[in-house]
Structure 1
Amino acid sequence: MTYKGYLIDLDGTIYRGKDPIPAGRRFVEQLQARRIPFLFLTNNTTKTPETVANRLAKEFDIHVSAAAIYTATLATIDFMKDANRGDKVYIIGEPGLKNPILEAGFVWDEETPDYVVVGLDSAVTYDMFVTATLAIQKGAAFIGTNPDKNIPTERGLLPGAGALISLVETSTNQTATYIGKPEAIIMDKAVSLLQLEKKDVLMVGDNYLTDIRAGIDNDIDSLLVLSGFTQKEDLPHLPIPATYVVDSLDEWAFDA
């Protein structure tokens, strides 16, 4: 089937930590040459779209604008604005999460925030978890940026945002509202940004639990590439298969 637009994961699909995945660059170049619209759709909240675009260019020779990158941070901001619950927020996360939220007009509040947002934070402390826990107990809406338990790197699978969110879920006995893949919140917005219908879009990624479930759970066809999180030996155990599976993105036939 020929698709009119693509949603593409980054970590484990285009690169693995600091290591490039050459087939990923060639895949993007094919899309650009064919003038097929695409968005990089990432659960990574540690970097802004501008930073991601700059890194793609400098480290991986992939040249796109910041507008081609939709992060779980941007989806979180869109969600909070749509919810219209208030503008006070407490955030566990790195500058790629905190700065855009505050720049979007939200105000930092550690005592009685309207929202507590938890994402990946490599410098998180126990006191930060305490602040988040108490605020949620007082009634703040609990948002988890994405459910990724691990992130693939050149060192191996490291703790992801989902691991941090799980701690706060345990301490508050509350389940977070998740924004990132595979949730409908980020997928619906991404498809609308492409200005296409779901049937005309393909979700491409390496992680069955996030990328491929994002397709399956939201009626979007999916392409699983075995270059990152999900491995070939996992395939027989997947409850619902991806629409397509390839060892490398070089195998994908755009006009099939």
Structure 2
Amino acid sequence: MKDYQGYFIDLDGTTYKGKERIPAAGRFIKRLQETGKEVLFVTNNSTRTPDFVAKNLRKNHDINVTAENVYTTAIATADYLRSIAPAKSKIYVIGESGLKLALEKRGFILTDDQPEYVVVGLDTSVTYEKLEKAVLLIRSGAKFIGTNADSNLPNERGMVPGAGSIVKLVEYATQTKPVMIGKPEAIIMKMALERVQLPKEKVIMVGDNYHTDIEAAINVGMDSLLVYTGLSRPEEVIKEKIQPTYKVNNLDEWKI
């Protein structure tokens, strides 16, 4: 086993299950911190700010981290756009405060007046009017960016529509493929690697979902650790052509 210097870690299903703690995950993160490893939570959730996520981890899961330890698709989307577009570029956004704040902090102007880009993420208050604007702007030439392709999100009511469901609606109406940022795409992983300033050979992706966390690592050429505390099941994963680098039942099994 390699001596990894950085750990990219998924949240729901890996670090916790909704409001429920995963005790092994808390112990795992504490061991990483005690041995001086770089810890970065990499999440497809674009609705919350890193500060909100970190506060939730501290308050509800006894995991002592700060906003600097959190990398959301909102931040990754802002970082990606900043790498290809100048400050003050105009962007139309379907999304919530986490996404809008990340873009504004990078100096972008959020507007529906002739934007160069349309960014679509999860918006629990989405309306036909918002979707109509996005479609018309993309059909008029604005470049289409999607935060992530998650079709569903788990909550107490069940598997509700995720950001990917909204992105797909806009894609269907425009017949335009978006640039996708979040897991399993390589973009969020490349942006996260730039954030921690480590080569991919020194970092491992830890997650519970083969089709997002593990495929994201595969797509960028990183090692991966699949933990069976969330979505993916052993009988499903064994059928995949490319296997995770490592698999554990819980994170207590991982030797640092």
1:138-177 alignment to 2 at 5 Å? 138-177=140-179
**Of 110, 113, 117, which aligns to 2:112?**
110
User: 1:163-215, CA deviations, whole angstroms, 9 ceiling, x for partnerless residues?
Assistant: 11111111110111011122222111212222221111110011111110011
Quick one: distance in 1 between partners of 2:177 and 2:191?
22
1:124 to partner: Cα distance: 1.0
- Residue deviations 1:138-186 (CA, integer Å, cap 9, x gap): 1111000111122233443322111111111111101110111222221
Equivalent position of 1:20 in the other structure: 21
Divergent runs of 4+, >4 A: none
Residue aligning to 2:187: 185
Q: Distance in 2 between matches of 1:158 and 1:20?
A: 21
Distance 1:135 1:81 in 2: 20
SS of residue paired to 2:241: coil
Report the Cα distance in structure 2 between the residues aligned to 1:159 and 1:84, rounded to whole angstroms.
Answer: 30
In structure 2, distance between residues paired with 1:192 and 1:173 = 32
Deviates more, 1:95-104 or 1:74-83: 95-104
Q: 1:96 is matched with which residue?
A: 98
Q: Which deviations, in whole Å up to 9, do the C-alpha atoms of 1:9-30 show, x marking residues without a partner?
A: 1121111222222211111111
Q: TM-score, normalised by structure 1?
A: 0.94
Structure 2 Cα separation of the partners of residues 145 and 193 of structure 1 = 18
Judging changes above 3 Å, is the alpha-carbon distance between structure 1 residues 178 and 149 closer, same or farther for their aligned structure 2 residues? Answer: same
Shift of 1:217: 1.1
Check whether the contact 2:45–2:72 (CA below 8 A) recurs between aligned residues: yes
Spell out, residue by residue over 1:95-124, the C-alpha distance to the aligned partner (whole angstroms, 9 max, x if none): 111122123321122142111111111111
**Do structure 1's residue 54 and structure 2's residue 48 form an aligned pair?**
no
SS at match of 2:238: helix
Pick aligned residue for 1:199 from 198, 201, 211: 201
- Structure 2: unaligned runs, 5 residues or longer: none
Give the C-alpha shift of residue 125 in structure 1: 1.2
Aligned twin of 1:29: 30
Task: Report the CA distance between 1:227 and its aligned residue.
Answer: 1.6
TM-score (norm 2): 0.94
Report the Cα distance in structure 2 between the residues aligned to 1:241 and 1:156, rounded to whole angstroms: 29
Which consecutive residues of structure 1, in runs of 5 or more, have no partner in the other structure? none
Cα distance change of structure 1 residues 227 and 131 upon mapping to structure 2, 3 Å threshold: same
Q: Which residue of 1 is the match for residue 126 of structure 2?
A: 124
Matched, 1:44 2:45: yes
* Seq. identity, %: 50
Aligned pairs, how many? Answer: 254
How far apart are the structure 2 equivalents of 1:232 and 1:164? 30
Q: Distance in 1 between matches of 2:64 and 2:154?
A: 23
